Amino acid sequence: MLGALPTHGRYDHSSIVARPAWQWPGGQRLAVYVGMNLEHFAFGQGAGAQLVAGSAQPDVLNHSWRDYGNRVGVWRCLELFDALRLPVGALVNTAMYDHCPDVVQAFARRGDELIAHGHTNAQRQGELPEAQEHALIAHCRARMLAEHGAAPQGWLSPWISESAATPELLARAGFGYTLNWCHDDQPTWLRTQAGPLCAVPYPQEVNDIPMLIGRQMNAADFAQLIVDQFDEMLEQARRTAQPLVMGIALHPYVVGQPYRLRHLRGALRHVVTKAGGCAREDVWITTPGPIARAYAQAVPA
């Protein structure tokens, strides 16, 4: 006899059209954030995005392509963010503090939100034994607290890789929200044995790695994807009066390549310009932390 399938038990099904009404602060309709991934990779071992199919280690081609992001690409992106006065959620591998601390400090000086992103994207968090995963989360929180005087409130796992215990470990460590779960256009509450954990939507499609590298989309089409996502979600939010979240996930070794950056500039300028021309209650350009806090106030766990 066939029956219900196994489930994670973290949240119940909820159709977006059947939820109680609520609003962002000031009555805004659409919250928009940029998530900039600041990542460092081990040389000669471990995982990593690939421009071309990897060769035997040391894989110099792919490693040096990724390192371009921290040496060149990220600085070009920062120039763009500064020109547009665009706040950013910086997703930080703590290995960056030892390899290229000036990159993280540049975002800290801008007042950007610093979000924990594991120690290195050369390692998938979900493959670790629970004790090692607990130690990883504790290390990242403590290192960022020591570097900046404030602990990060949000977490994105390297490769969005979770074990069955990850939400509990994050809640116990004091994290307020996770970006790992992308199942909605609004924040939701996850159930954990350590109490509720807010899930802020992090994009899997408005994301340069799966689209530009995985699906081999060209830079012009990815820029148009950002524009189309923004315009359509703004229309949906206005029409339905539902507060929505749009994230844009970027990696400096991908969009920091000059020919891609040129197209990204046009897309982000469209978002910022249109947001500036909208009625005050329409668009909220922010970072994930304020989104999580506003949701907790509007829809308590």
- Contact between residue 243 and residue 29 where contact means Cβ atoms under 8 Å apart: yes
In-domain check, residue 132: yes
C-alpha of 121 from chain center: 14
In-domain check, residue 101: yes
- Contact between residue 212 and residue 248 where contact means Cβ atoms under 8 Å apart: no
Confidence label for 278 from pLDDT (cuts 50, 70 and 90): low
Mean pLDDT of 144-164: 97
Evaluate if residue 279 carries a pLDDT over 60.
no
In-domain check, residue 63: yes
CATH number at residue 196: 3.20.20.370
Mean pLDDT of 262-272: 97
Find the distance separating the first CA and the last CA of the chain, reported in whole Å.
36
Mean pLDDT of 239-245: 96
- Pairwise CA distance, residues 200 & 185, whole Å: 9
In-domain check, residue 51: no
Evaluate if residue 281 carries a pLDDT over 70.
no
In-domain check, residue 212: yes
In-domain check, residue 2: no
Structure pTM? 0.96
Q: What pLDDT score was predicted for residue 280?
A: 57
Q: What pLDDT score was predicted for residue 192?
A: 98
Reported as a single tens digit per residue, the pLDDT across 118-138 is 999 999 999 999 999 999 999
Give the range among 163-172, 194-203, 268-277 with minimum mean pLDDT. Answer: 268-277
Q: Which helix (H) or strand (E) holds 130?
A: helix 130-148
Total domains in the chain come to 1
Reported as a single tens digit per residue, the pLDDT across 36-88 is 999 999 999 989 888 888 778 899 999 999 999 999 999 999 999 999 999 99
Which token pair is 59?
């894989």
Q: Which domain holds residue 252?
A: 22-41+58-298
- Pairwise CA distance, residues 56 & 190, whole Å: 41
In-domain check, residue 46: no
Instruction: Tell me how far apart the 2 most distant CA atoms of the chain are, in Å.
Output: 61
Evaluate if residue 223 carries a pLDDT over 70.
yes
Q: What pLDDT score was predicted for residue 275?
A: 86
